[in-house]
Amino acid sequence: MLEVRDLIVDYDKTEVVRGISFEIKKGEIVSLIGANGAGKTTTLRTLTGLKRARSGSVLLEGQAIQGLPAHRIAGLGLAHVPEGRGIFPFMTVPENLEMGGYLNRDKASFRRNLETVFERFPVLRRRQHQLAGSMSGGEQQMLAIGRALMGNPKLLVLDEPSLGLSPVMCQEIVRVLTELRAAGRTIILVEQNARMALRLADRAYVLDRGRIVLQGRGRDLLDNPNVRTAYLGLATAVSAPASPA
């Protein structure tokens, strides 16, 4: 469904994504994991048009979309839940959702989507009259995901949905993502929380300083000793508490 080839992205001449290629098939959850600053967010931002690539191509169902402005790519069915959620803080919950369906001028299907989102996230229905900025982090994350669902996206792009969330909230997110997969959605998931990401993913890619260094099925990566050392910290920390100087 989505294919990325030799993507290179830079900020003021510093390359942060250094030629990565990967693909996502319909109905899959694909995770990108990697350390802070590995270039995960940058990759996603390039996919959805918030950032221009230096070179490389992005194909959505065979159509090249690199270089299109973000609002055009949104029109093609990519919904991006950005890092930090990006909800509109001074708008109410329904208004936020309405913006998610901005490109959908059909009132009836908009209503239907709204109903579906409210059913999936009952907490949003309860917060209907609240300004989005005053909701808790987890609720905001639900709103952001709900907003992304409003446009019936072909591909859902999630950047660190667990960021800043308590473990309980994280579990809630995991529940939602599992449900979405069950409903047949295609999802790219970027997570700092590698354990969670690998568990959810059908397939996963490991990014290190702008390059893909490992790829495979989520479960397999979870057991990969290198991954355990580098990204799941815990394993080695527990086994070797005081590393020598």
Partner 1 sequence: MSQLKVTGITRRFGGLVAVDALDLTVEKGAIHGIIGPNGAGKTTLFSMISGTLAVSGGRIEFEGRDVTGLPPHRTVSLGMVRTFQRSAVFHHFTVVENLLLGTHLLARPTVLGSLFGSHRRFTSADLEAAEEILCFIGLADYRDAAAETLPLGHQRSLGIGIALAAKPKLLMLDEPAAGMNRTESEALMQLIRDVRDRMGATVLLVEHDMQTVMGLCERITVLNFGRKLAEGRPAEIAADSAVIEAYLGLDEDAQAVAAHA
Partner 2 sequence: MDLATFVQTFANAVISSSIYALVAVGLALSFGVMKMANFAHGEFFMAGAYVVYVLYAIAGHPFILAVLCAVPIVALMGLAAERLIFRPTRDNLLAGFMATAGLSFILQVLAGRIWGVGLMKRVPTPIMGAVDFAGAHIGSQRLVILPVAILTLVALWLFLNRTRQGKALRAAAQKPEAAALQGIDLNRMSALAMTIAGASAGLAGALMAPVTPVTPYMGHSVILMAFVVVVLGGMASIQGAMIAAVILGFVITFCTTLFDGVIATMVGVGLMALVLVVRPQGLMGRETV
Question: Using CB under 5 A as the criterion, which residues of the chain lie in contact with Mg ion when the complex forms?
Answer: 41, 83
Compute the least distance from the CB of residue 44 to partner 2, in Å: 11
Rounded to whole angstroms, the Cα distance separating 32 from 203 reads: 9
Q: Which residues pair with 204 in a beta bridge?
A: 31, 216
- Per CB under 8 A, does 116 bind partner 1? no
- Per CB under 8 A, does 131 bind partner 1? no
Asked if 15 and 54 count as a contact pair (C-beta separation under 8 A), the reply is: yes
- Site size toward partner 1 (CB under 8 A) is 34
Rounded to whole angstroms, the Cα distance separating 157 from 109 reads: 22
Smaller CB distance to partner 2: residue 8 or 91? 91
Rounded to whole angstroms, the Cα distance separating 227 from 218 reads: 11
- Per CB under 8 A, does 184 bind partner 1? no
Rounded to whole angstroms, the Cα distance separating 204 from 126 reads: 35
Compute the least distance from the CB of residue 18 to partner 1, in Å: 12
Q: Considering only CA atoms, which of 7, 125, 48, 140 is closest in space to residue 86?
A: 140
- Per CB under 6 A, does 38 bind ligand ATP? yes
Torsion sign (Cα): 19, 17, 15, 51:
positive
Compute the least distance from the CB of residue 115 to ligand ATP, in Å: 32
Per-residue x/- marks for partner 1, 137-156, CB under 8 A? x-------------------
- Per CB under 6 A, does 85 bind ligand ATP? no
Residue type, 55: S
- Per CB under 8 A, does 174 bind partner 1? yes
With contacts defined by CB under 6 A, name the span among 29-37, 122-130, 174-182, 221-229 that binds ligand ATP: 29-37
Asked if 46 and 53 count as a contact pair (C-beta separation under 8 A), the reply is: yes
Smaller CB distance to ligand ATP: residue 24 or 38? 38
Matching residue, tokens 């959850």: 29
Rounded to whole angstroms, the Cα distance separating 51 from 68 reads: 10
Binding footprint of partner 2 on the chain (CB under 8 A): 48-50, 69-71, 74-75, 79-80, 82, 86-91, 95, 98-100, 102-103, 133, 147, 151
Asked if 32 and 207 count as a contact pair (C-beta separation under 8 A), the reply is: yes
Q: Specify the DSSP class assigned to residue 133.
A: G
**Which residues of this chain interact with partner 1, rule CB under 8 A?**
12-14, 35-38, 137, 163-167, 171, 174-175, 178, 195-196, 199-200, 208-209, 229-230, 233-234, 236-238, 241-243, 245
**Which residues of this chain interact with ligand ATP, rule CB under 6 A?**
11, 16, 34, 36-42, 83, 192
